[in-house]
Every structure is written in C-alpha cells, then in structure tokens.
Amino acid sequence: MSYLQHKWMEYSRQPHPARRYCNQREFEADWVGGLRRRFGLSQEALASLASVSVTTVQNWENPASRKRIAEHNQDRLRDIERDLWIKSHVTVMEPNPPYIRALHDLLAANRDASAQGLAEYLLTTLPGDDPERARLLHWAALSYSINDPASPRARGLSEQALEAIGGGDARLAAAIENEILGYQFEDLLTLPVGAERQGRGQRLLAACERLYKRDQQAAYKWNALEVACRAPLAPAECFRLAGDLIGLLGESQVKRKVLNDPAFETARALFAEPGTLN
C-alpha cells in the first residue's frame, strides 16, 4: 500500500473527521497543500526538496488533476515530512549525550520502533534525579509522536518531561518546554470540538501565560490567544488576551493581525464596532 493510500485509509476510519473529502484524490491534494502550510514552504521550495518541477507540485495540489502522485514521489514526500517534522520539533543542544544523538539518528532513519525501544530502556536506567532526565523523556515522547501525535504514550511522556524540567540548563529547559507545547498544540487541533479539546486548550493557555510571565515575550501572548480562539475557549478569554496584547503592542498592530489571520477569528468581534475598546 502506498503512503498516501495508507493515510487515506487512516482518514476513512475516523468517525468524525475535521474535514470531509469527496474522494482520495481530493484528500491527497489537500495533504500536499497542508504539508506546505504546516512547514511554511512555497511550491518552489517543495519542488526543490522533492526534485520535481513546480508544475508537478501544482498538479499534486490540484484535486481536479487526473494524474495520481507516483508511489516513489509519495515515498519522497513522506521522507520530506519526517525531516521537516524533526527539524521543527527537535533542538539538539550541545553538550549532547551520546544516547540522544543515537535517538536522533534512529528517528532520522525512519526506525521509530528502535528509537522507542532504546528510549524505554534508558528511562529504566537513568536515575530520576539526573539533570538529563527531562531531555530523555522529551525524546522518548518524540519517538512515539512522530507518527502519532495523539499517542497516549507520547502524551504521558511529554507531561513527565514538563514535570521534570527544573534546575540545570535554563536554555535547554526553555527549548524542551517550547517544543512540547508546540506539538501539544498540533495535537489539540486534531481533536473534535468539545470538552476534551477545550480542556486541553485551557491547559495550553495556562502554560503559554506562564512562559510569558517568565520571559515577557509577546509571542507567548499571541500563542495563548491562538489557543483560546482555536480550542475554542469562551469569547471573554479571547478578548482578555487581545486586550493584553493591545496594552503591549498598541491597538493598530493587534487589530491588523487579528483581522487578517484566520487563526484569530474568534477575537475579531473585539474590533467590530468603533468604541468597543473603550
């Protein structure tokens, strides 16, 4: 079975998919476009990575195209997705323990089961108070979430990693926390709208606000607002966060971004009428 055929079968088994497709070709076209959007690639950049023409990428993303994506190109897209996922989710900070390098190499070589086995073994041997335990827990979670972000084992290991972050290298701790929250947000978006998604959103929002309190970076407030809008949480929560950003950055900058970025649609009512902000 080809890679995208397998993804189509996974989609077909979902009882309540976030989006419905008329056929497999439409699903494949949206998958390729989604790959580019997730990792901020232009069609030219994806064509270069896949060693094909821009016209070929355009055909891949055209649901009306009669040409299917060749299996060898599907394999290439799978490898590109994996490479981009690792680069966007993993910070390899030196000094880097040899076993972390081994886990990285196994994941890069598409040997997830081996990476999981090594990570589980290391977790049984590394002392609980070892300063590297948070990093190991994070990498163990990555070995499960690279193919299944909603994996219960990945979720559990990520929570343990967050709990294990403490003293030691503050730079590494911040990188681990940002990465974990990043793929927990991706996981949030795969959940159907409902109580579980809102509960996950509330926890992520609290984490983003905790990071803002620590580092005073406006980006964390933007992250919190996006979580509140897309969970979605109560409109009052979205308005509160938008108000915080206005206090930090000014009304014009916040208004421009909220009105032009679909991620913040829930907060747009704040700017619906003159005088709303008074």
- The radius of gyration computed from the CA coordinates of the chain, to the nearest angstrom, equals 21
The CATH T-level fold of domain 3-84 is 434 Repressor (Amino-terminal Domain) (1.10.260)
Q: 233: Cβ–Cβ under 8 A, 6 or more apart, which residues?
A: 198, 201, 202, 205, 227
pLDDT, tens only, 95-145: 778 999 999 999 988 899 999 999 999 999 999 888 888 889 989 999 998
Domain boundaries, the chain: 3-84, 90-185, 191-278
The token duo for 64 is: 């009306």
The token duo for 95 is: 């000094």
| Nearest one of 131, 175, 183 to 157, comparing CA atoms | 183
Per-residue buried b or exposed e for 151-185, using 16+ beta carbons within 10 Å of the residue's own CB: beebbebbebbbebbeeeeeebbebbbebbbebbb
| Nearest one of 193, 98, 91, 70 to 142, comparing CA atoms | 91
Does a cis peptide bond (omega within 30 degrees of 0) precede residue 95?
Answer: yes
Residues in the chain with pLDDT values less than 70: 166-169, 273-278
Residue 261's φ and ψ, nearest 5 degrees, are: -110, 120
Per-residue pLDDT, 50: 95
| Span 90-185 CATH architecture | Alpha Horseshoe (1.25)
What stretch of H or E contains 199? helix 195-215
Q: pTM value?
A: 0.67
Dist CA 11 CA 199 (whole Å): 24
Residue 149 DSSP class:
T
Per-residue pLDDT, 278: 39
The token duo for 270 is: 């704040």
